[in-house]
């Protein structure tokens, strides 16, 4: 145990003293914030550009009331010019495109005869907006032909807000479901990134020691299993420290950003709205914020945190043992490619299943089955937990994960103890099977 402790300390200290680790620990949050700010700035600049669209209406049904200007799109009526002259003006001038509405005998034919001409491919949002305007106008025209009063149609519209309860009488809401989805996706994504980054770190560490032949000296005083386990735990400890520091930095940055942008937003609002409107907006924003906080605190946060830690560490330990075995089997990183697909495939499958099925139906058969399978359960179960999972389901999933981890570590240790002393030969799956069966 003392030797294992020394290996863990050695791996942890070597990792945290590495310059790249120190730089990325403090630089990564800044880079993420910078990238987010850049994307926000570019999106804002893109939205600020006004698109000028001309329309030629030969049907006589579409007026300026249909094509109302917005902040980003301005419409001009070129019906008097005709479509050919309008196309030339659009091509030569600073216009986004030309919409042609021909004259047809029926509304059905007209709906499928409208054309849009532009120099470049129009955006989906612009085309969707145009289609919505046209469909609404044609629908109203058809209702008028049927003798239906549009005012009655408008007055008959009513919205429904279904209140959701579980069988224990606890009230739920769409907002809390959205929060659960966000928490589940974040947890699954963090685990995937952690496994990929620090699993590869374990593998590279094994390869470096193997190629430098220092491994031959180390295994003379410690068991290969202890060395492998020490590397996994040491790298995991360094990774958790890095995530802890990132969490503190993001919390501090978010507080600073919210205080700064909160002041700016208040100043902008005071310049554009009346005091009465501003007070109403503040009350609405305050009640919305309070509601979100109430929904968050209604979640079983302690249970979610403890299970997050278990699956986070369980998934990392499981995959890191495989990464360590791959590192021991090869002489360089190039040779790892043939073994990486079987290792990464279950992890990728877990991500796809989580994103595709858990979000839509967290208690469906696919979600449940993959939350039991040990190679996918760390991600899938993490995504399901915020939605509420029965204790016996969690117990089965945890037992299967622990049992599989023990078996995989045992198999990986067999590959590790033989592979770390093998040089000059590119191993095959047949060789790995021989190493597992070797009892010397």
Cα–Cα distances (Å) from 353 to 191, 313, 346, 374, in that order, read 15, 20, 10, 14
Helix locations, 49-92, DSSP H: 83-92
| In the predicted structure, residue 392 carries a pLDDT above the cut 90 | yes
| In the predicted structure, residue 276 carries a pLDDT above the cut 70 | no
Taking Cα atoms as reference points, which of 46, 55, 136 lies closest to residue 89?
55
Helix locations, 273-390, DSSP H: 275-298, 301-329, 337-353, 365-370, 377-384
Q: What is the mean pLDDT of the chain?
A: 81
The C-alpha atoms of residue 389 and residue 338 are separated, in whole angstroms, by 37
pLDDT number for residue 180: 78
Q: Are the beta carbons of 271 and 148 closer than 8 angstroms?
A: no
The C-alpha atoms of residue 336 and residue 375 are separated, in whole angstroms, by 20
pLDDT number for residue 84: 92
pLDDT number for residue 145: 85
Domains defined for the chain, CATH in brackets: 49-153 (3.40.190.10), 172-255+265-437 (no CATH)
The C-alpha atoms of residue 273 and residue 278 are separated, in whole angstroms, by 6
Backbone angles phi, psi at 172, to 5 degrees: -120, 175
How much of the chain exceeds pLDDT 90, in percent?
15
* Per-residue confidence band for 102, with pLDDT thresholds at 50, 70 and 90: very high
Q: Is 26 helix (H, G, I), strand (E, B) or coil?
A: helix
- Which of the two residues, 280 and 79, has the higher pLDDT score? 79
pLDDT number for residue 132: 92
The C-alpha atoms of residue 77 and residue 68 are separated, in whole angstroms, by 11
For residue 74, the cross-strand partners are 52
- Per DSSP (E only), the strands in 97-180 are 97-101, 115-117, 164-165, 171-172
C-alpha dihedral sign at 356, 359, 364, 370 = positive
Section 191-213 average pLDDT: 81
For residue 51, the cross-strand partners are 73
> Tell me: the pLDDT tens digits for 8-46?
898 889 888 888 888 888 887 788 778 877 887 777 776
Element (H, E) at 75: strand 73-77
pLDDT number for residue 179: 78
């Amino acid at each position: 145990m003392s030797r294992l402790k020394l290996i863990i300390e050695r791996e942890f200290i070597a990792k945290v003293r590495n310059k790249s680790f120190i730089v990325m620990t403090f630089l990564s949050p800044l880079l993420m914030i910078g990238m987010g700010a850049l994307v926000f700035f570019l999106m804002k600049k893109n939205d600020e550009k006004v698109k000028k669209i001309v329309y030629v209406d030969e049907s006589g049904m579409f007026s300026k009331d249909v094509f109302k200007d917005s902040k980003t799109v301005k419409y001009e009526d070129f019906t008097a010019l005709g479509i050919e002259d309008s196309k030339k003006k659009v091509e030569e001038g600073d216009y986004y495109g030309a919409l042609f509405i021909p004259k047809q005998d029926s509304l059905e034919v007209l709906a499928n005869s409208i054309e849009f001409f532009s120099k470049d491919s129009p955006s989906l949002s612009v085309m969707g907006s145009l289609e919505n305007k046209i469909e609404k106008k044609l629908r109203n025209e058809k209702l008028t032909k049927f003798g239906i009063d549009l005012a009655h149609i408008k007055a008959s519209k009513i919205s429904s807000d279904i209140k959701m309860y579980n069988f224990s009488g606890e009230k739920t809401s769409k907002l809390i479901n959205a929060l659960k989805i966000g928490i589940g996706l974040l947890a699954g994504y963090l685990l995937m990134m952690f496994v990929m980054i620090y699993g590869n770190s374990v593998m590279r560490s094994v390869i470096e020691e193997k190629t430098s032949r220092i491994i031959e000296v180390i295994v003379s005083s410690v068991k290969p299993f202890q060395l492998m386990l020490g590397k996994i735990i040491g790298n995991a400890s360094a990774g958790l420290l890095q995530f802890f520091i990132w969490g503190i930095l993001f919390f501090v940055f978010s507080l600073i950003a919210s205080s700064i942008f909160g002041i700016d937003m208040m100043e902008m609002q005071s310049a554009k709205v009346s005091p009465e409107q501003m007070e109403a907006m503040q009350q609405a924003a305050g009640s919305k914020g309070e509601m979100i906080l109430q929904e968050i605190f209604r979640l079983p946060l302690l249970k979610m945190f403890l299970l997050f830690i278990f699956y986070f560490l369980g998934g990392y330990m499981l995959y890191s043992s495989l990464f360590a075995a791959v590192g021991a089997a090869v002489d360089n990183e190039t040779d790892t490619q043939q073994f990486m697909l079987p290792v990464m495939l279950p992890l990728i499958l877990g991500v796809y299943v989580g994103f595709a099925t858990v979000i839509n139906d967290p208690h469906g058969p696919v979600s449940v089955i993959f939350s039991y399978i040990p190679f996918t359960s760390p991600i899938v179960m993490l995504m399901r937990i915020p939605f509420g999972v029965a204790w016996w389901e969690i117990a089965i999933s945890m037992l299967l994960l622990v049992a599989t981890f023990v078996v995989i570590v045992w198999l990986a240790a067999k590959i590790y103890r033989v592979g770390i002393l093998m040089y000059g030969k590119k191993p095959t799956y047949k060789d790995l099977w021989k190493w597992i069966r070797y009892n010397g």
